[in-house]
Amino acid sequence: MDGALAKRACKNECRYQIESLLLDGDKIWVGTNQNGLQVFDKKKEKFTEAFVVNTKDKTSITNNSVKDILEYNKDTLIIATLMGINIFDKKLKTFKAITVKEGLPNNLVQSVTKDNFGNVWIACYSEGLCKLNMQNFSITRYDINDGITDNVFGSKFYTLKNGKILLGVSDGFISFDPSEFTVSSPPADVRITSMHISQKR
C-alpha cells in the first residue's frame, strides 16, 4: 500500500479500531475490535467484504473482536477472537470454531502462530498457551508445570529463523522450541497392592 492509498484508506474507510492486518495479494484482511473480519481491496481502494457474527449461521465467525490473523495455507486462515479460534475456509467462506468446548483453557485468544510441523500455537489472555494439531484438532495445554514462567499473555507471537518462538508475558517474554516442548507427565496413579494391619497385644 503506497502513502496515498494509506491516507485514503484511513480517511474514508477506517471506521473501526484495527487489531490486526494480513496482506494477501490484492487483499488486506483486517481484524477489528468490534466489527469482525473485514476485507480491503487494494485495487478498488475500499472495503469489499465483512464477516461478522450471525447467530443463525453456525459457520459464521464466533466473535466480532479479531485479535490476530494467521495465513495457515493459501486456502485457510486462522483467526484469533475473543470467542476462541476460528478456522476460515477462504473458498467456502465458512468458519470452524475451536473454543473451550474443544479444549481451550478460555476463549480470550490473543495471538496465533504456525510452527515448522504444521501445528498452530495459541496464546489466550491467561492460563492459555496451547498447541492445536490441525490434523485432528486436538489441543495440548501448557502451564507452569511445563516450564512456562508466566501465564499472562498479551502480545503477538514472533517466530525466529531457527524455529524458536517468542511470546511476550506480563514481566518479559518467553522463548521455546516447538520441537523440544513437551507436556509434563501426570503423576502415576496410586495403587494399593497389599495391606498389613498391625495388631496390638
CA gap 83, 62 in Å, rounded: 6
- Per-10-residue mean pLDDT for the chain, 201 residues long? 50 71 96 96 95 96 97 97 97 97 94 95 86 95 80 82 86 84 52 50 48
pTM here is 0.82
Give me the torsion for CA of 81, 84, 87, 93, rounded to 10°.
-60
Contact (CB, 8 A) for 177 and 167: no
- What is the structure's pLDDT at 51? 98
- What is the structure's pLDDT at 10? 52
User: Residue for cell digits 490434523?
Assistant: 135
- What is the structure's pLDDT at 170? 75
CA gap 124, 155 in Å, rounded: 10
Please give the grid coordinates belonging to residue 178. 516447538
Superfamily of domain 53-176: YVTN repeat-like/Quinoprotein amine dehydrogenase (2.130.10.10)
- What is the structure's pLDDT at 155? 79
